[in-house]
Amino acid sequence: QKEVEQNSGPLSVPEGAIASLNCTYSDRVSQSFFWYRQYSGKSPELIMSIYSNGDKEDGRFTAQLNKASQYVSLLIRDSQPSDSATYLCAGGDSGTYKYIFGTGTRLKVLA
């Protein structure tokens, strides 16, 4: 099992819909999780961080963490074509200051 696993997609949603991106992680990964958005040819941009069980909302974005199931998700409400990008899930490597990244899910929001 990969330490941080994501479906590569592409995930296609119509404009205005909710996009749901999922990530699972192994025991090696600590309890800090991050979602990054990466446009083609650009560097990743941090959009959400979550450290405890439950939901965290920031504007149109909601991150959800379920430690028992080792599952973290990102919901994007009212999806816009400008949200089309690759979304990277990352977790802290337990006991170190390293970060482990998933391979990313490509999201396409259709106008």
Partner 1 sequence: DGGITQSPKYLFRKEGQNVTLSCEQNLNHDAMYWYRQDPGQGLRLIYYSQIVNDFQKGDIAEGYSVSREKKESFPLTVTSAQKNPTAFYLCASGDLQNEKLFFGSGTQLSVL
Instruction: Assess 97 for contact with partner 1 (CB under 8 A).
Output: yes
Q: Which residues is 33 bridged to in the sheet?
A: 50, 91
Binding residues among 35-54 for partner 1 as defined by CB under 8 A: 36, 42-46, 49
Out of 7, 20, 26, 32, point to the residue binding partner 1 (CB under 8 A): 32
CB 102, min distance to partner 1, A = 6
76: Cβ contacts below 8 Å, ≥ 6 apart: 18, 19, 21, 60, 61, 83, 107
Question: Two tokens at 94?
Answer: 């337990």
Which residues of this protein are in contact with partner 1, per CB under 8 A? Answer: 8, 32, 34, 36, 42-46, 49, 88, 90, 92, 97-99, 101-104
